[in-house]
Amino acid sequence: MRVHAVTVMLAMLACSPAVADDVVLQTGLSYGDVRVVNVVDGSLVFELGGRAITKELQDIRSIRLDDQPAYNDAEVLLAGKQYLKAAERFAALGAGATDARVKSLLPWRQMHAWAMGGRIDRALALWLPLAERSASAAVLRSRPRKWGAKGSKANAEAMKLLTAGVAATRDNPVLAATLTAMLAELTALEAGKAVTPPSPPATRPDSGQPPTNGASSGATDRASRQLTYARELLGRERYSAAAEMLGENISSFSAAQLPEVLLLLGKARIGLSPIGDPDSKDRLMAAGLDLMRVWVYWPKSPQAPEALVLAAVVNARLGNPKAARLAYQRVVKDYPGTTWAKRAEADLAKLK
C-alpha cells in the first residue's frame, strides 16, 4: 500500500501545474514557492525544485496553500495562537473540502489546534483513528501532547478515550504501548504527581544531527558511568539493582543514551519476572512499555530491533500471541538481514 501511495504521489508531482505554497517549520526554517502534495503516514510531502521533500507534521509550524484562502485563514488563526477559533475553522472546512491536499491536512491541523487550545479530548478523538490506520513512528510521534487543566472535563473524556483505546488495540503492540504511556501520563497528572515520561530526543537519531539535551560534560560522564554499571549489573543477573538504578536516574541520561537505557530497563524487568511467577504480570507489562518506547521514538537506533524482539517475547508471555506475531513480523520487515530479524523468524516458527 505504501509503494502504491508513493507511486501515485510521484505521478502527481510529474503532471501537476506549478503553484507557490509555503511551509514553515517549528525551527523557523521556511520553504517558499513549494508545491504541497499530500499527507502520508503523519508526514507532509511537498515539492521543491522538482524534488520531493518529506517533513513530519509535528515539526511544521504553518502551511499556506496558494489557491486555498479559506484554509489559509484557519492557518493564520493557528499561527496567531487563536487555537479554538482555528480548530472550529478547520472543522467547518471539512464538510465542503474538495481539494485533496486540504482534505488530507484537515484532521491533522484540527487535531493540533484542539490540543493547543486545551481540548485534548477532541484532539484525541481525531488522532486515534489516524493512529489505528497507520501506527508509523511519525504518526505516533505526532500524538497530542498538551493535556488539559487538572480536573478538567477534557481530561476526563481523554482518559475514557485512552482507556477504551488501550483495550481495543491489544493486537497492535506499538499503538497499545503508546496509548498506555499516554494514559499513565494523564493519570499521574490527575493524581498530582510529577509527569516525567521518556520523550523523543529534540533531534531524532535518524535526522543525521547529534541529539542535544543541554547536559554538562560532567553530567554526561556520570550518566555514561551509570550506563556501564547497569550493563555490568545485568551481566551478573542483578536485575533488581539495575532496574532501581536506571529508574531512579532516568532523567539524567541524554537523548542519545535513552534507547539503551530503556532497553536495559526492559531487560532488567524481564529478569525480575521468572516464568510461572503469578506476580510478574505488572513487571512484564512495564518491561513491554519500556521496550516499545525504544521502537516508537527511536526506530533507527541500534537498540530498536532487539527491543522489538523482546517486546514480542513479553507479549507471548502475557498470553497475547497475536501481538507477539505482529511485533516479530515488524522486526523481519523493518530490519531485514540483521541478527534480530533471524531471531524473529525463528521465534515466529515456534509461536503457537
Q: What pLDDT is recorded for position 16?
A: 44
Rounded-to-integer distance, Cα 104 and Cα 266, Å: 37
Q: What pLDDT is recorded for position 326?
A: 84
CB 85 within 8 A of CB 100: no
- Mean pLDDT, the chain, whole residue set: 82
Radius of gyration of the chain (CA): 22
Question: Helix 120-133 and helix 173-190: axis angle, to 10°?
Answer: 170
> Cα–chain-centroid distance for residue 181?
11
**18 pLDDT exceeds 80?**
no
Q: How many residues does the chain have?
A: 352
Within 13 Å and on the Cβ side, how many CA atoms surround 243?
Answer: 17
Phi, psi of 168 (to 5 degrees): -85, -10
- Please give the DSSP secondary-structure letter assigned to residue 18: P
The set of cell numbers assigned to 311 is: 517486546
Rounded-to-integer distance, Cα 229 and Cα 188, Å: 30
Q: What pLDDT is recorded for position 249?
A: 81
DSSP reduced 3-state for 257: coil
The per-residue pLDDT for range 240-294, each reduced to its tens digit, is 988 888 888 877 788 788 899 999 999 999 999 888 777 788 888 888 888 888 8
- Smallest CA-to-CA distance from 306 within 328, 275, 284 is with 328
The contacts of residue 315 (CB under 8 Å, 6+ apart) are 173, 288, 321, 323, 324, 327
C-alpha dist (Å) from residue 148 to 144, 260, 272:
11, 32, 36
The per-residue pLDDT for range 195-229, each reduced to its tens digit, is 544 444 433 444 333 334 444 445 567 888 888 88
Cite the DSSP H helix spans in the chain. Answer: 2-15, 69-79, 83-96, 100-116, 120-133, 137-141, 153-168, 173-190, 217-235, 239-248, 258-271, 281-297, 304-317, 321-334, 339-350
The set of cell numbers assigned to 23 is: 511551509
Q: What pLDDT is recorded for position 204?
A: 42
Rounded-to-integer distance, Cα 57 and Cα 62, Å: 10
Q: What pLDDT is recorded for position 194?
A: 55
Share of the chain above pLDDT 90, in %: 35
Write down all domains in the chain, each with its CATH number in brackets: 2-117 (2.30.30.100), 228-350 (1.25.40.10)
Q: What pLDDT is recorded for position 156?
A: 95
- Smallest CA-to-CA distance from 195 within 150, 152, 154 is with 150
Q: What pLDDT is recorded for position 197?
A: 47
DSSP reduced 3-state for 203: coil
The per-residue pLDDT for range 83-117, each reduced to its tens digit, is 999 999 999 998 788 999 999 999 999 999 999 99
CB 38 within 8 A of CB 104: yes
Q: What pLDDT is recorded for position 112?
A: 94
DSSP reduced 3-state for 89: helix
The per-residue pLDDT for range 139-191, each reduced to its tens digit, is 888 888 889 999 999 999 999 999 998 888 777 777 887 888 888 888 888 88
